[in-house]
Structure 1
Amino acid sequence: MTRISAVSLSLLTHPSPVGRDADGMISVGTPGEGHAVVVRIRTDDGAEGCHVEDDVMVVDQLRADPGIVTDVVAPALLGEDPAYRERIWQRLARLQRLHLTRLHDRIIAVVDIALWDLVGRMLNSPVHSLLGTYRDTVPAYASTMMGETAGPLSTPEGFADFAEQCAERGFQAFKLHTWAPLASGDADWRRDALACEEVRERVGGRLRLMLDPWHFYDREDALRLGRVIEDLDFFWYEEPMTEASPDSYVWLCDRLDVPVTGPEIAAGGIRTRADWIVRGACDIARAGVLDIGGITPMVKCAALCEALNVPLTLHLGGVASLHLLAAMPINGWYYERGLLHPDLDLDAVPPWLGRPVEVMSADGLMAIPDGPGLGCDFDSDFLAAHEQILGVTTEPPTRVRT
């Protein structure tokens, strides 16, 4: 029987056209170094699964605390048959009880994704085939960077200009991330409303529109903004209040016709999504591969939503999301491409890839990767030049965990 014999964690550092602004948001106004982490899982017969993740929360956590992978996660995998993905995931979920501040769902997610890549490569099968393929393409929506204090996305007109640019590229839908001044808290729902009105006027019926605004409006301001976009026939309304209060979302859903989607980052995985659905705190469920701990729990989340006849939108792009959307028979509607900005190449390929995995047609359809595992073809020269090993954990391959 094949056994996991090594788990490694590395850091990639490379020049990047984006950085972070004073609020910690991704920004083109602060270019500098970009970072990503690389998780590899190897077996005693030489197979390897790999996932590269550039999510800032994952990168920040693992740069500061690589030991959570090398000292806590890796021992839970070593000696296991990689086909036992559910058993491994449940073990990691239980370990969270002892490592509440370190082993959050996004860390489990990157390990789970690498494990699925490993099994797919071992079986010479794409991950979506392992899940059960439903479709070969999925429409994409353009997901903008947050509103800026200066630059193309600093005005309602700038958002409208970008919406026109995205429509010309072939996107079928457009989501505004309006202004989110986390440091100052100086948010204004009226400015968000003006941006939505300007975008609607420009792109009309060419694009479906969504809004993800400031996340800390009170109930009344969230309702005021919701009524504006309801009149503008927006497709969904996302996270206008803190998700720590599901009751506030029940209140909001009861008063709006525009569909409210959530929760996005609330802890609790599929159990929290089930609770929100049953309580009526969302009209459309929302979850992401990173948000709830990987591909393994996302399969359950999709089944939950199918059973309750509730659509499910996926938070964040990434190759794992493409595979999941390919296997979802319920309304997942769109793949989220972002975060996008007028000054960036909309089709830029991450430097660690030898060929793109995000391939969008002229009419806005994303191709589903068809190579083994996740289907990523890595640039070995780039990795050799930019990869720093943070830790490798091994054990003798003869060890059998009972």
Structure 2
Amino acid sequence: MARLFPYKSISLLRVLAYHGIIIKLFVMTVKTDPAIIMRSGKKAVALGLVILVAPCGIMVGLGYFLLYTRDLHPDVVPDDSIIIIIALLLSTSSFLVVSEILEEIGLLNTELGRLAMLSSMINNAAGLFAFTIFTSINWEKPLQSIKPLGLAAAIILFTLFIFLPWMWWVVQRTPKSGPVAGGTMVAVMVVVSTAGIASDIGGTTFIFSPLLLGLAVPDGTPLGATIVEQIDTVVSELPNMGVYSVWLLASIGVTAPIVPLLKTYYDPLGANYSMGQRTIQHLKPNMELRVVACVQDESPVPSIIHLLEASCADGGNPLCVHVLHLVEQVGRASSSFIAHKNKKGFINPTQMDRLLNAFINFEQSKNGQVPVQPFTAIAPHRTMHRDICSLALEENAAFIIVPFMRDAGEHGEADRPNRTIIPNVLSQVSSA
């Protein structure tokens, strides 16, 4: 051991590994939208806390039972705090791993997938918060806990009043489709590494700073997506020395029985759906025609509005339009489905973009005779059809408009993922 791995090299590898973990945790939380956690329903909050408290309580109880009822060798008897720390770590799920599993099996933007993601985020946040507080407090000498708790408060203030405004300043100065300055990326990595080292030296766990700073970075384009793209690849290998194979086998062992069970017993669109009977020819006379119009960019908007204009018969069947803005999930871990108009017809203008505003202007030009319901779906390309079909089923739509992306021009390859949406929607209809 001493010849193969000298002490100096082991120390260097450990420093690199811990540094990789700091950056990895930062990138992981960059993919998280804190607003999603704040909007979590009671079901997700309750489920997230139950899957933290129940296994943690069982493991702590079992740990103390073995500690005080078995004649253990003195060298293997752990401290009481170690039992609780291990229980907290094993009871906390990684929402990033949950997200990758759900995306792999195509359930990320389904009702079950969103519930799993929200409950996992609640579990992750509560578990890491409890872990940070527990490791920062010296239970034998409480007065010595003032330093780490004060440092944690200082890091929180730095994040809220310095780091967060800096991130928004970078976003405002970066073009929507332009690159983030290389100096900014270097500065972000330096700040994250320094904060992680400072929190570790001050007695607070080193995972506290990167998690908090990552939540302060706006997810998605341009900043969040750039951080995920440029930094994640660099640090993905650093925290994996000596443990990658173990974690890989553990992940396979946990997920292997779950995937076939989900595909066999869970239908994302419901067991009794029937899209085949929801067509224009099945509408009764004077029945409202409900249309789901999907857009990804500005190019098809005029054509769709002209089609809707031609479908507005004076004194004929009423028309209702559900506009769905499809956005590729980039630089974030969870999918989202946002309804911009509530039941009372109120629209929050801060969440609207130019694509949806064009259809709202069409509604106003018709003096409210053609109601428009705007939605935004953020999901991977290969599962976007789930949001389209789910919205059509929920709103009892008889007609779905999906723009066709032609394989031509300089953007032919870039549009290839978009063109898979149509056959996926058609296959869902044919399977009904």
Q: TM-score range by the shorter chain?
A: under 0.3
Question: Larger radius of gyration, structure 1 or 2?
Answer: 2
Task: Considering fraction of residues, name the structure with more strand.
Answer: 1
Task: Considering fraction of residues, name the structure with more helix.
Answer: 2
